[in-house]
Amino acid sequence: MTHRFDPTSLREYDIRGIVGETLGPDDARAIGRGFATLLRRAGGTRVAVGRDGRLSSPALEAALIEGLTASGCSVVRTGMGPTPMLYYAEATLEVDGGIQITGSHNPGHYNGFKMVFQHASFFGEKIQLLGKMAAEGDWDEGDGTETVTEADVEDLYVSRLFAGFAGGAYRVGWDTGNGAAGPVIEKLVKLLPGEHHTLFTDVDGNFPNHHPDPTEEKNLADLKKLVAEKQLDFGLAFDGDGDRLGAIDGQGRVIWGDQLLSILAEPVLRVEPGATIIADVKASQMLFDRVAELGGKPLMWKTGHSLVKTKMKETHAPLAGEMSGHIFFAQDYYGFDDAQYAAIRLIQAVHVIGKSLTELKDAMPKLVNTPEMRFQVDESRKFAVVDEVLDRLEAEGADVNRTDGARVNTADGWWLLRASNTQDVLVARAEAKDQAGLDRLLAQIDDQLAKSGLVRGETVGH
């Protein structure tokens, strides 16, 4: 028996596709068979399986479990919840791996799989290997002793989120956007001091109120309204599977992922002076400067949650984050991206620093920057274009960081051009001290693209 995946579904950090078009139960079964085979060959036998609140998730879960047991692994079902709850189960239960069925922050008709293999990220070549094994039918057969059990981890997870909390009492708005984090947040706010107002915590895979992606400002409109009407201290927002955090201050201004990290880093570095703090190449120079000012070692790294987690282990970094709102705590936690835990640590950080979130936002350097600009480019060209740009910049003697694409420093500020690992797009971003500087940086990007036969053109969504 063999299986062929749609080539667009096997991504760099996870498996993702449109249900009924590029992803379905047969794919889930094949993922289960391949993952179980690899785990058995590495000496493992048990897998935790969780799912988000999408309408297609129960059917994909059933097929995934069929595949896992057919190739010899027992399964512990952790039920519906945010992705970090599955990560928590994988870290604390007697299992050798974990798989979450989730479409993350994508629209409702998408779904996918995020995987952990023996407490490490499962990504890149390993995901491609699942495709190769399926095409060849290279799957082990089970021996009939496999079991499927249930583990109710939600209350344990909520208790762990709250454990050691030493924050103050604030008035906070919480918007889970009908995503999988809703029930966890409802339980969590009952434990926290202060006054808490929640929005859209009922899980609904149709996402009737707004798209569950807090990195797009338009999705924060309801939260801004709540914070303004009730004059709350700040607001917190979560993506569809609860691994990305968004925040606004008391005036409704967005605190972006890199700005959150600059706040979270302060208490972390008080406990671990001189520690490494990691951020991705899309983060503001303000963050790297702030970490250095606080006595930490700023490290710029590649974008992608699996890549960041791997780098954290290598450098023993207590904290890392991405522009996209993935925040990873290894200090007093497990090192995975967990928006619920990051929210708790943010409340704590505001308390420890002793200023309101609005005051912290006010104190940040006033820089002018673009959002993440994404534009379509043929899959076969996207990495080649970045290489061409790098070659030209090198010949010109430009100040370039090659960590992940091209990040170019100039007297005006910096600009970035990188190829997305998950889509046929190039991603650009620029930041300057003023609008005139930003315009000059954007002109440099346009010039480089033109030399490779491209136009920046229309930006495309996620």
Dihedral sign, Cα of residue 378, residue 384, residue 387, residue 391:
negative
Cβ-contact 373, 271 below 8 angstroms = no
Closest CA relative to residue 214, chosen from 119, 342, 120 = 342
Cβ-contact 79, 51 below 8 angstroms = yes
Please state at what angle helix 257-271 crosses helix 339-353, rounded to 10 degrees. Answer: 60
Torsion-angle region of residue 263: left (phi > 0), alpha (psi -120 to 50) or beta?
A: alpha
| Coil/strand/helix, residue 133 | helix
List of long-range contacts for 16-21, beta carbons under 8 Å, 24+ apart: 16/103, 16/104, 16/106, 16/110, 16/111, 16/112, 16/113, 16/422, 17/110, 17/111, 17/112, 18/109, 18/110, 19/56, 19/60, 19/109, 19/110, 19/111, 20/109
- Tokens representing 256? 């972006």
Report how far apart, in Å, the C-alpha atoms of 222 and of each of 83, 199, 232, 343, 456 are: 24, 8, 13, 18, 32
104 assigned to active site: yes
Q: Of 104, 284, 324, 420, which is the active-site residue?
A: 104
Angle (CA) 326 328 334, round 5°: 140
Cα(163)–Cα(237) distance, rounded to whole angstroms? 21
Give the contacts of 441 (CB within 8 A, at least 6 positions apart): 410, 412, 413, 414, 415, 430, 431, 432
Q: Give burial (CB, 10 Å; 0-12/13-18/19+) of 216.
A: middle
Q: What burial letters (b/e) apply to 336-372, b meaning 16+ CB within 10 Å?
A: bbbbbbbbbbbbbbbbbeeeebbebbeebeeebbbeb
Give the contacts of 122 (CB within 8 A, at least 6 positions apart): 35, 97, 115, 116, 306
Give the contacts of 362 (CB within 8 A, at least 6 positions apart): none
The residues annotated as belonging to the active site are 104
